């Protein structure tokens, strides 16, 4: 565990990508097979199942630390991370039992079936024998959550450096349905014939946001445009007589979308489609809002009524595998042509459509189309170069997303709450209000969008302008106006204001505006009429 803790620390305490990749590459070269296999698994979100409930862990930790449970909970709310809070409150010790990472995971998985006292015994022993970072990692393992500041992309790069294999191949090998129980380091990373299982998806190609105008992209004829849908990116895989649906978050979602089973009837074996999963009821001109789709994603089994009210359709926009061949290196125009050919035989009422390409004669004309994206229930546009290959991961150059500017309102800050974790010593969570006559009505919370310097400044101000305290929340003098940006607005009965925003964040601190100039509830109602 010490070696893994060293790796974790090296990654965690550096802000430099190269340092992180080098530390990880060293580890992949040196560690034993089971350890490095588990490391890939953990860093790609394949974690061991939770061995003890967090309620029990909190109780045991408070007991061991000799503090009341409420004080543990308060500390947790400030630290923001359960594993870390436990590691910090327990009496200090140094690690004197250095079992390898994979052994710890093995022991952890052996206690699943044991009675509670045996599990408690195991946990208390681990806490007593593990110090510092090792204890923190153990807590992460036992709570089943493990997130580390390293992306799939960086891990693949480190693995490429350690194994001398191309990054793109490794990215593909690491996709899909494997688990340390069902494979080995050799099979996963080294074996020549990557005889992957039929469900294995391709790494998604992700676009960067276009920051300047598309004029800089060059020759107009080299580009194709589509709507950027506001659904879930997904891959539909048709192999070995079966079908699989993967989300971009690499979650297998086949069972959540039973209506897609029909696609098996007209998509030939050996086909992989990339597209957007959308709720799109028959006869409607646009898909339903993201909220409706969210209701579907939340259900592992879908009731009949929901299936009828909120039918899911795949809007395909790329073809990655055709007749069993990986065609990702072929130009987009060719892949698109094949996609169109394939879709020509699909009946109109089938839950598979092809995402239309938008006609435009100039960048100005396209910009004009973009302004109508909200009416189409889209987030903006996607621009794709006609000769672009289908790359792995987020890459600049060939694909761009050209999103709509967000909606904004000017609002008054009325409550402040201190942050946790990263921002434990700052006020970062604010509640904002708009005018309703002479009253300020709270309508949203936001906690991101300011710089650290701004958060420090507002923190000092909050300390001096607190009107009332309710636990960690402070009511402050209405004085500061912030421009709040958001992606969508919906009617909501749960909120006093009657509206709920999607992805609200602080765009700007409007120190130039007096509170009288903030927006009103009527303004929000207007937005609701137009965009809700």
Active site residues: 228
For another protein, give the closer residue by CB, 38 or 72.
72
For another protein, give the closer residue by CB, 144 or 472.
472
* Spatial distance between the Cα atoms of 488 and 84, rounded to a whole number of angstroms: 35
Q: Which two tokens stand for residue 478?
A: 């209405």
For another protein, give the closer residue by CB, 12 or 169.
12
500-521 b/e (C-beta count within 10 Å ≥ 16 → b): bbeebbbbbbbeebebeebbeb
Shortest separation between residue 123's beta carbon and another protein, angstroms: 19
Shortest separation between residue 357's beta carbon and another protein, angstroms: 43
Shortest separation between residue 89's beta carbon and another protein, angstroms: 5
Q: Is residue 132 classed exposed, middle or buried when 0-12, 13-18 and 19+ CB atoms within 10 A define those classes? A: middle
Per DSSP, the residues of 134-167 read HHHHHHHHHTT----S--HHHHHHHHHHHH---H
For another protein, give the closer residue by CB, 467 or 530.
467
For another protein, give the closer residue by CB, 149 or 397.
149
* Spatial distance between the Cα atoms of 506 and 449, rounded to a whole number of angstroms: 5
For another protein, give the closer residue by CB, 348 or 453.
453
Angle between helices 54-65 and 116-129 (to 10 degrees): 50
Q: How many CB atoms lie within 10 A of CB 164?
A: 6
Q: How many CB atoms lie within 10 A of CB 489?
A: 23
Separation of first and last alpha carbons in the chain:
52
The pair phi, psi for residue 157, each rounded to 5°, is -65, -40
Query: Residue 432's closest CA among 468, 478, 471?
Result: 478
Spatial contact of 108 and 142, defined as CB atoms under 8 Å apart: yes
For another protein, give the closer residue by CB, 66 or 115.
66
* Spatial distance between the Cα atoms of 450 and 379, rounded to a whole number of angstroms: 23
Shortest separation between residue 463's beta carbon and another protein, angstroms: 8
Interacting residue ranges for another protein, rule: CB under 8 A: 12-16, 65, 67-68, 71-72, 74-75, 78-81, 84-85, 88-89, 92, 136, 149, 420-425, 452-453, 456, 460, 463-464, 466, 469, 471-472
Spatial contact of 517 and 482, defined as CB atoms under 8 Å apart: no
Spatial contact of 162 and 352, defined as CB atoms under 8 Å apart: no
Shortest separation between residue 85's beta carbon and another protein, angstroms: 6
Shortest separation between residue 464's beta carbon and another protein, angstroms: 7
Shortest separation between residue 82's beta carbon and another protein, angstroms: 12
């Amino acid at each position: 565990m010490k070696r893994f803790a060293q790796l974790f620390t090296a990654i965690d305490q550096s802000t430099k990508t190269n340092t992180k990749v080098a530390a990880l590459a060293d580890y992949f070269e040196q560690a034993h097979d089971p350890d490095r296999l588990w490391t890939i698994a953990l860093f790609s979100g394949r974690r061991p199942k939770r061995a003890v409930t967090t309620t029990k862990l909190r109780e045991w930790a408070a007991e061991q630390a000799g503090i009341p449970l409420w004080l543990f909970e308060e500390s947790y709310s400030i630290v923001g991370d359960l594993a870390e809070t436990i590691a910090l409150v327990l009496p200090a010790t140094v690690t004197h039992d250095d079992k390898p990472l994979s052994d710890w995971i093995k022991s952890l998985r052996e206690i699943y079936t044991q009675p509670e006292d045996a599990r408690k015994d195991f946990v208390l022993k681990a806490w007593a024998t593990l110090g510092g970072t090792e204890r923190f990692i153990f807590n992460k393992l036992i709570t089943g959550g493990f997130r580390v500041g390293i992306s799939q992309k960086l891990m693949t790069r480190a693995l490429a450096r350690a194994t001398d294999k191309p990054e793109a191949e490794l990215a593909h090998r690491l996709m899909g349905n494997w688990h340390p129980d069902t494979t080995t380091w050799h099979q996963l990373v080294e074996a020549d014939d990557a005889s992957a299982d039929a469900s294995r998806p391709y790494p998604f190609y992700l676009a960067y946001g276009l920051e300047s105008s598309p004029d800089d992209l060059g020759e107009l004829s080299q580009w194709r445009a589509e709507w950027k849908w506001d659904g879930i990116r997904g891959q539909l895989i048709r192999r070995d007589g079966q079908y699989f649906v993967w989300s971009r978050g690499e979650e297998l979602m086949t069972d959540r979308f039973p209506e897609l089973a029909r696609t098996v009837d007209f998509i030939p074996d050996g086909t992989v489609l990339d597209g957007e999963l959308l709720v799109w009821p028959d006869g409607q001109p646009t898909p339903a809002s993201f909220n409706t789709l969210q209701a579907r994603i939340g259900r592992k089994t879908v009731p009949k009524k929901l299936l009828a009210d909120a039918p899911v359709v795949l809007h395909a926009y790329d073809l990655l595998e055709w007749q069993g061949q990986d065609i990702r290196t072929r130009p987009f125009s060719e892949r698109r042509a094949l996609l169109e050919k394939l879709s020509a035989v699909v009946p109109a009422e089938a839950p598979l459509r092809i995402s239309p390409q938008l006609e435009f004669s100039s960048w100005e004309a396209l910009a004009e189309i973009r302004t109508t994206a909200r009416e189409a229930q889209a987030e903006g546009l996607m621009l794709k170069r006609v000769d672009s290959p289908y790359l792995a991961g987020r890459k600049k150059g060939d694909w761009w997303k050209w999103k709509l500017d967000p909606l904004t309102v000017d609002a008054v800050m009325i409550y402040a709450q201190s942050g946790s974790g990263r921002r434990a010593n700052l006020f970062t969570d604010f509640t904002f209000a708009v005018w309703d006559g002479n009253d300020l009505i709270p309508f949203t919370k936001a906690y991101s969008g300011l710089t650290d310097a701004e958060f420090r400044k507002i923190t000092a101000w909050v300390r001096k302008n607190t009107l009332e305290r309710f636990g960690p929340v402070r009511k402050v003098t209405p004085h500061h106006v912030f421009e709040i940006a958001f992606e969508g607005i919906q009617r909501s009965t749960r909120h006093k204001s009657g509206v709920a925003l999607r992805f609200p964040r602080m765009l700007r601190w409007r120190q130039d505006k007096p509170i009288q100039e903030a927006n009103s509830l009527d303004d929000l109602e207007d937005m609701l009429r137009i965009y809700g």
